[in-house]
Amino acid sequence: MPLKKIVKELFIVLHEFISSIVFALPRFKLLNPIKRIYLLMHGAKPGKSITYYPGIKINPARNIVIGDNVDLAWGVLITTGGGVSIGARTLVGYNTMILSANHVIPKDKGKIFSSGHEKKEIVIENDVWIGAGCIILPGIKIGEGSVIAAGSVVTKDVPSFAIVGGVPAKIIKYRE
């Protein structure tokens, strides 16, 4: 194996290791600056007063904007290859996945392993509540004030002040 490839793989492993340590820290308010500085060093734009529960993963820690007073619960996974914007005062529930990149399904029965990735921006506007265990797919926009029911898979844009749920998520009603 060429030295350049070994160094690259070691860098990736070291980055993943440090990230897992930083985001394993408890959600104690005095430790939040460490998590914020880590994100800033990697090109992220975190707001103020973000609650980072232990066990979240943001990879890579760039192409992400997080508004003020956001709550990221235990086990949240965010992939930022396509870009992610999370508005202010948003709650993201336990074990939710926000996936701005996904594998491509190849045409004509081609090989899946080498088919590449699709990267599309995810925009979550202000005052959104995403319940536990949700999956937000690439290219989705979730409108202001929306609620995503626990366990939902969001495959289409969500209008402002809508309450959606299910697999795939559908509008249940609008907030009044």
**What are the residue numbers of the active site?**
103
Query: If we measure between CA atoms, which residue out of 155, 7, 161 comes closest to residue 170?
Result: 155
Measured in whole angstroms, the distance separating CA 110 from the mean position of its chain's CA atoms is 29
Query: If we measure between CA atoms, which residue out of 141, 41, 40 comes closest to residue 87?
Result: 141
Helix (H) or strand (E) holding 37, with range, is: helix 32-41
Q: Are the CB atoms for 166 and 156 separated by under 8 Å?
A: no
